[in-house]
Structure 1
Amino acid sequence: MPTRTPEPTAVTARALAPDLARGFMLLFIALANSHYFLSGRPVLGGYPQDGSPFDSAVTWLIATFVDGRAFPMFGLLFGYGVAHMVRRRSDAGPRAVRRLLWRRSLALVVIGSLHGLLLYAGDILAAYGVLLFLGAWTVRWKDGWLLATAAFFFVLCALPGDDSLSISTDPPDAALLPPDAVTMVVERAHITPWIALLGPLGFMCPFMLGLWAGRRGILEQPERFGTLLRVAACAGVGAAVLGAQPVSLMLAGVVPVPDPSTLTLIGPLHDATGVLGGLGYAAAAALSAQRLGERRGKVVEAVAATGQRSMSCYLAQSVIWALVFTPFVLDLSSDLTVTTTALLALTTWTATVLLAHHLHGRGRRGPFEVLVRRVTYGRRRV
């Protein structure tokens, strides 16, 4: 009998909640990434410490609601999408599914590596590719194994670690702000593989939870899993806000910098509760999608279109960072503040939303989504 050719999900058949979450969280990604380029002043945890009171307020907001909260949500949605792919290929054997996932993994590693070398040293796409290469062996695990593995990596990220929040007057390193193109490639060639290989450790917990949730279609069925989603939204976001305060208040200059032993405790606390916050944000997006129902205005449609093209929009952000901050281009890293950089991030995200909505209106996917689908499914029209 003929074998069914694997195909990607049509845009019109996609659930609103995951795309809405991805689209909105890309704003948080922009806010989280851009302030690390600022230089020329004493820095604490990536934030200049000589700004105005308004800069301190913006620092508190980003450290509380954004830093370490958006990336876990993307890890959850990544695992959720993988579970959806596997569910649609339930008639295929394990080897066929692994080959499909490994092709997608290869595409992510190649695109992410080039992104890390040429645009942004903190690329996460290659880390997702490595995570998927390993995760392809876990997609048929029993629920207990998925949840136990998620719990193990959650505890691992909550353990006391090295002091990463020390005061430094040094500018961002040459990998982030290279003086010339040759130095850029050489420095990033050293750091990009390490991020790709170590990054999956931080994403493993939300990825496993995403596989578990994706098997049940939890984000797509808020009417069925309403209680679970409400508890996850309230408890997750609440824990993230409370767990962020020791670090957020310190970064905002409200409380003094504690001793090194305390720093090694509050940093992991911020990261661990950030994982819970990422889960809470995803749950809140599912509940919001349920309330919206079919009453989707242009704004919701545009944000969801951004989520459908999340890779292309994420890479577009890096183009802006490269143009604005790179020393041999515009070199504005010492001119912008935390506040003006946040405004730049908001403007950049808004531009990608408008572009994604334009592509949606013309029935076109994002260019990098098309590329990944061609590699994954081996079809010209995807």
Structure 2
Amino acid sequence: MRLATSFTGARGVRYPAPDVARGFMLLFIALANVPFWTAVTHVSAPSDAVDTAWLWVRSLLIDSRAYPLFAMLFGFGLVTMVNRRIASGSASYLSSLPGAEDGREPTPQEEAWAREQATVDVRRLVRRRGLWMILFGAAHALLFSGDIIGPYGLVAVVFAGWITRKHWKRAVAFCVVVIAAGTTTFLNMGSFLASQGTTSATDAHQGTGASTDTVLSYVSDGLLAWGGSLVSALFFFMIVPAMFLGARLADTDLITHPERHRRVLAAVGLGGLGLGAAGGIGFAMWAAGGHLVAWTMPLHTLTGVAGACGWLALLSLYAGGPRPDGRLTGLRRLTSSVGRRSMTVYLSQTFLFAIIFMALPALTGIELHLGGARAAGVALAVWLTTVGLCAVLERGGHTGPFEALLRTAVARSERRRRPAAPPAPATPASPMSASSTYDLAR
């Protein structure tokens, strides 16, 4: 029995835009994560003009923009899976009804019953998948405390019911609360750092990395930081609003058929990136050594969602709509192969960063001296390495190993449930009974 099947169901149309966007997103993730590794291993160098220029680019276009893009694509993928699974599950339940093989049309009550049973099944699937993602994230956090798989898994577990039943009004209300709480938290944090005389982002981050004195201290500090991020993901960061935004997009054709919405996507792309860049100016000035203003951090975080929307719109335009033959060429094909193996690529980046910034210096005794721009070059090289890995897997017709592991774990941990009994089909009234009713009415 083949257990490692696709979550979205068999024979589903594969739209290129989400996959291509995920492929490029993983480059942004690598660029956003590499400062963690340089901070943990104390890799530093005097900043020059190139480093300063890159710091501005990263602050305006990548930091707090890559992870909201990740969350949007996560939400988009969840609802795509939900829609296809509910459709196929409903058809399966209807086919099991008495008389279905003889061509009997189901009643509206039976159709509602089938959809409800399929919805319950999918809700259980989303939660089960989310629980396994939390476990995967915990294992990943042993090496990288900035893991995002676990927080996204927690979001899936908590909001599985809202996602499967499309409770968008509740989602909007909760997102308003999250945005208010996050803005207040970051505003207070900015005020505190400003009152302490923190003059640059480098000062704020000093001492925040996990200790590398011993393996035990590194792991314990990383797990504690990761555990805190699980709670923060629900109430203070923009993960949940971005996830619900991506989930809502899955019920439209803006991303699946970008060729139909070129003007809208171009406006969102340019406007979103522009708004995100404008909101990141204060943060970039602080990161470059300027003074911190209290509103700098909340503004940078809030406009990060706009920047993520801009990236998604432009990348969707670049990817285009589905091809008649289903094939992509050139860079689109490469990034699509990366996007379809996003978990494998994300985890592989961590392994490669750990080898470069921790294992090799420890084995050779050679300390790295990299500025921000050179560290970004390392991140680009790591991403290109994963692109090559995915190209090899694509040529061999293999899925990503961690995607296959997750699907197998989710499938094998499924517990059978007894669905509710279908409604009894209505018995048509006989001519005799109808005549008797007419006589009584007279």
> TM-score, normalization: structure 2?
0.75
Counterpart of 2:35, as a letter, is H
Aligned counterpart, 1:21: 21
What is aligned with 2:144? 120
Aligned to 1:146: 171
The CA distance in 2 between the partners of 1:49 and 1:273, in whole Å, is 30
Q: Distance in 2 between matches of 1:198 and 1:17?
A: 30
Instruction: Map 1:1-382 to 2 at 5 A.
Output: 7-9=7-9, 13-39=13-39, 50-90=46-86, 91=90, 92-117=117-142, 119-139=143-163, 140-159=165-184, 160-163=187-190, 166=198, 167=200, 173=207, 176-201=210-235, 202=237, 203-253=239-289, 256-258=290-292, 262=293, 264-290=294-320, 296-326=328-358, 328=362, 335-378=369-412
User: Per-residue deviation at 1:234?
Assistant: 2.3
Flag the 1:376–1:215 CA change in 2: closer, same or farther, 3 A.
Answer: farther
Question: Quick one: distance in 2 between partners of 1:293 and 1:228?
Answer: 21
Which amino acid in 2 is paired with 1:55?
Answer: D
Q: Matches of 1:369 and 1:354 in 2, distance apart?
A: 17
- In the TM superposition, what whole-angstrom CA distance separates every residue of 1:25-80 from its partner, at most 9, and x where no partner exists? 11111111112333599x9xxx9683111111111111111100010011011111
| CA deviation after TM superposition for structure 1 residue 330, in Å | 6.2
**TM-superposed deviation, 1:188:** 2.1
**Code of the aligned partner of 1:98:** R
Deviates more, 1:156-165 or 1:19-28: 156-165
Task: Tell me the distance in 2 between the aligned counterparts of 1:13 and 1:333.
Answer: 49
Aligned partners of 2:9, 2:391: CA distance in 1, in Å? 19
Aligned length: 365
Give the superposition deviation at 1:247. Answer: 1.2
Distance 1:183 1:7, change over 3 A: closer
Contact 2:341 2:403 in 1 (8 A): yes
Tell me, in whole angstroms, the C-alpha distance in 2 between the residues paired with 1:272 and 1:333.
Answer: 37
Q: CA deviation at 1:191?
A: 1.9
- Write the deviation string for residues 78-114 of structure 1: whole angstroms up to 9, x where unpaired: 1111111110122243321221001111221111100
Opposite residue 189 of structure 2, the aligned amino acid is D
For each residue in 1:153-206, what CA deviation from the matched residue of structure 2 results, as whole angstroms up to 9, or x when unmatched? 334433423036834669854853522222222222322211122223320101
Q: Is the 8 A contact 1:247 1:266 kept in 2?
A: yes
Most deviating of 292-301 and 313-322: 292-301
The secondary structure found in structure 2 opposite 1:359 is helix
Cα shift at 1:144: 3.1
Unaligned runs of 5+ in 2: 91-116, 414-442
Structure 1 letter corresponding to 2:83:
R
Change (3 A) 1:303 1:229: same
Question: Per-residue deviation at 1:252?
Answer: 2.9
One-letter amino acid matched to 1:235: G
Report the aligned-residue RMSD.
3.0
Q: CA deviation at 1:212?
A: 1.0
TM-superposed deviation, 1:216 = 2.2
Structure 1 residues 332 and 320: CA distance shift in structure 2, 3 A: farther
Q: Which has the larger radius of gyration?
A: 2
